[in-house]
Structure 1
Amino acid sequence: MGIKNTPVNHHNNYHAHVYFEQETLAFATKLCEQAGDLFSLSIGRVHQKNVGPHPKWSCQISFSSQDFDAFIPWLEKERHGLTVLVHALSGNHLKDHTDYAYWLGEPAELNLSLFKN
């Protein structure tokens, strides 16, 4: 399958990881807060360090297949150049971050070694 550019709604639950840097911290924080408010989504911490497989600072947004069709186009429109990793929550972390991963913006190289035994 590989990583695709356009998210497809094939799973029950997802994460969107909004990537940012010091210069875009305020914008990314506001974007994630807006997503939570507008769509009643669960927003994770705004990490000002690399966490897990993520190669940049990030904030996680949790959402379901029911939110997908309204949330993803909104996020694509409102991200203003930020990269966003969208991936399924299938229970298989490696597949979630590879086969079931999609990008809004420029793809980033994930540290997948965390998921390999």
Structure 2
Amino acid sequence: MTIPANEFAHYHAHLYFDETTQEFAAELRYTISHELGLPVGPFNTRLVGPHLCWSFETAFTQTEFPQFVRWMERHRRGLSVMIHAVTGAHYHDHTQHIFWLGNPKPLNLNVFNPSVAAD
């Protein structure tokens, strides 16, 4: 696996799941929080923000980036994972500063203002 350029200070990973993968996703969320020590967001079994699938989020830094991406690729067991930069320019973070592990999922980008630049 080729690791994408690591150009930003902060990142989010959104892990997507459905009814058939919900139990595994919950286990993975627990592992990310308790074994890797990364913060995780709510376990969303409804659509939230731009996400058109159930999901949860984790946050990590530029320093953690290479190890986390490699770990996630080995442990995601087919789940789609969107990884994006966190710059404050949400539209650009979800369109230009993004890469996928697994199959890309559509996003509802209408929730973002594309003209808002990062702080």
Query: Given the two structures, how large is their TM-score scaled by the length of structure 1?
Result: 0.91
In terms of fraction of residues, the more helix-rich structure is 1
Note if 1:78 corresponds to 2:75: yes
The one of 69, 84, 103 aligned to 2:66: 69
Deviation (angstroms), 1:46: 0.4
Deviation at 1:51, TM superposition (A): 0.5
Long gaps (5+) in structure 1: none
Q: Deviations over 1:61-105 (max 9, x none)?
A: 011111111111000110000000100001100000000011000
Give 4+ residue runs of structure 1 displaced > 2 Å after superposition: 5-8
CA RMSD of aligned residues (A): 1.4
- Greater RCO structure (CA 8 Å; 6+ sep): 1
- Other-structure match for 1:29: 26
Aligned to 2:57: 60
C-alpha deviation, 1:8, in angstroms: 2.8
Q: Does the aligned pair in 2 maintain the 1:86–1:103 contact within 8 Å?
A: yes
Task: Give the structure with the larger strand fraction.
Answer: 1
Give the letter for the 1:95 counterpart. Answer: H
Q: Which of 93, 105, 113 in structure 1 is aligned with 2:102?
A: 105
Higher Cα radius of gyration: 2
Identity %: 39
Number of corresponding residues: 113
TM-score normalized with structure 2 length:
0.89
Q: For 1:53 and 1:108, locate their aligned partners in 2 and report how far apart those are by CA, in whole Å.
A: 11
